[in-house]
Amino acid sequence: METYDIVVLGGGSGSQVATAAAERGLEAAVVEPGPLGGACITRGCVPSKALIHRADVVEAVRGAEAFGVDAQLNGVDYDGITDTIHETVFAKADGQEARMREAENVTLYRGEGRFVDDRTVAVERNDGNGTEEITGETVVIAVGGRPMVPPIDGLEDVDFRTSDDALFLDERPDRLVIVGGGYIGAELGYFFGALGTDVSIVGRNELLVPREDDAVSAAVTESLENYCDVYTGYEAAEVEAVDGGRDGEGVVVTATPSDGIDDRDGGETVELAADDLLLATGRRPNTDAIGLEETGVETDDEGYVETDDRLETAVDGVWALGDVIGRQPYKHAADYEARVVMRNVLDDAGETVDDEAMPHAIFTEPRVASVGQTEGDLEDAGREYEVATVPYDAAPLGLILEADDGFVKGLAGPEGEILGCHIVGPQAATLLHEVVVAMDGGGTVDDVAGPVHVHPALNEVVHAAFDELSASEYSTAPDWRDAGDG
């Protein structure tokens, strides 16, 4: 049995701990059955955003006339798009694997890993050549998650897709039902809708992306109604295979009003026919098949690994990060958690996770980016706060881009502390970062409102919102809707 200083289960963000250890001269092993890079690289955020970029291009061509440009959309090579993206992302995964194999002090095990005891892992090799046991002084659990399949009557008799396989379809479906109104459902609803699919989204809450600030959820829901038939306040109760569809089989989804919501279309049941069914009902951790019952590692009722604030589990020397701990379901959060584990394992830093300023984005049209608390969070907590909401046309570039539905919403405490920021509109994910930097450094609204901002640029919208929140008696953010641009 091979012994290592560090064994990492998972070839995504957790593998960074192994490579960092190897650079220190320690012996490390990574156990991964699939492509390296985790879900993000080959079946998550990277290919999905590549697809969405194509949808943006299509939308730009369609809307060109509004800007005085005569352009026509003569067709979309859907198969060519997905083939190109597939080749690109898997080439990246292959390149990552090649670099790991070439690195010193790192051994890559291609197969499924399962705990035998607290620090011993049996690896069932992908090549069929049996099982091999390895052990590590330190073990990191970073096996990620997978799409959740909800209990819907009839689902076992119907072909369906999840986000794992919906990204690389050979042909665009003519009709698609998406069950799930969260981030994945909203983003893929926009993509398929923009490319011409008749999309129906079934979401159990009153608004799509319900975890967002209410103003954001309302904006996304209203926007998606331009691309999809949106059934909020509904649940998929039953599915049935029917004749039809591209391959001779279609599906009918019967949706009923969610519990406590009975005013959708009079509270009536609706039937939605489609060629394809996409389930986007969340993700679950991959902890049910790695033998945690053979260890002292504890999990919660949903299967997420429980850790302390340093990301160490109930077993000394066994750590966890990423989707398996369920703190923040984002790739950038997993990368941050990997850095925390690196410092604690390699330097005994005693560093704790601080995700108060953890940002995220939703790639619909318009874009969304958020950090910190929502107004609903603050109201539920009974916390005192100030709010400023500024439309995109407060900046000249916002007027030029005709971003009529865009806004920046800033939330601040009584001492000017930044409690949250929510942006809807072009370049939202980029604009958010000056707020993230200020929050992460313990800054106040004055740290965003005070610095000179480039003119004309969209960051003037962020400036305007935080200038409104600022305690300074000197306003430096003119309202370009009313003032001349001098």
Collapsing DSSP to helix, strand or coil, 36 comes out as coil
Question: Measuring CA to CA, which residue among 364, 386, 400, 383 is closest to residue 444?
Answer: 386
Pairwise CA distance, residues 171 & 84, whole Å: 14
How far is it, in rounded angstroms, from Cα 113 to Cα 31?
6
Quick check: 153 and 239 in contact, CB under 8 A? Answer: yes
Strands 145-147 and 360-362: unpaired
Catalytic residue among 53, 86, 433, 455: 455
CB-based contacts of 248, cutoff 8 Å, min separation 6: none
Dist CA 364 CA 85 (whole Å):
19
DSSP state letter for 305? B
C-beta of residue 175 within 8 angstroms of C-beta of residue 197: yes
455 carries an active-site annotation: yes
- Region of residue 331 (phi > 0: left; psi between -120 and 50: alpha; otherwise: beta): alpha
Phi and psi angles of residue 265, each rounded to the nearest 5 degrees, phi first: 50, 40
Side chain identity at residue 239, one-letter code = V
Tokens of 248: 């001779």
Spell out a b/e string for 283-307, using b for 16 or more CB atoms within 10 Å of the CB, else e. Answer: bbbbbeebbbeebebebeeeebbeb
Asked whether the beta carbons of 386 and 418 are under 8 A apart, the reply is no
* Nearest residue to 366 (alpha-carbon basis) of 186, 234, 154: 186
Q: How far is CA 188 from CA 89, 272, 464, in A?
A: 18, 18, 32
Strands 120-125 and 131-141, by their bridges, are antiparallel
Three-class SS of residue 380? helix
Is residue 210 within 8 A of residue 219, CB to CB? The reply is no
Calculate the CA 410 to chain-centre distance: 22
Q: Where would I find the H helices in 67-177?
A: 78-102, 163-166
- Alpha-carbon distance of 282 to 276, in angstroms, equals 18
Positions annotated as catalytic residues are 455
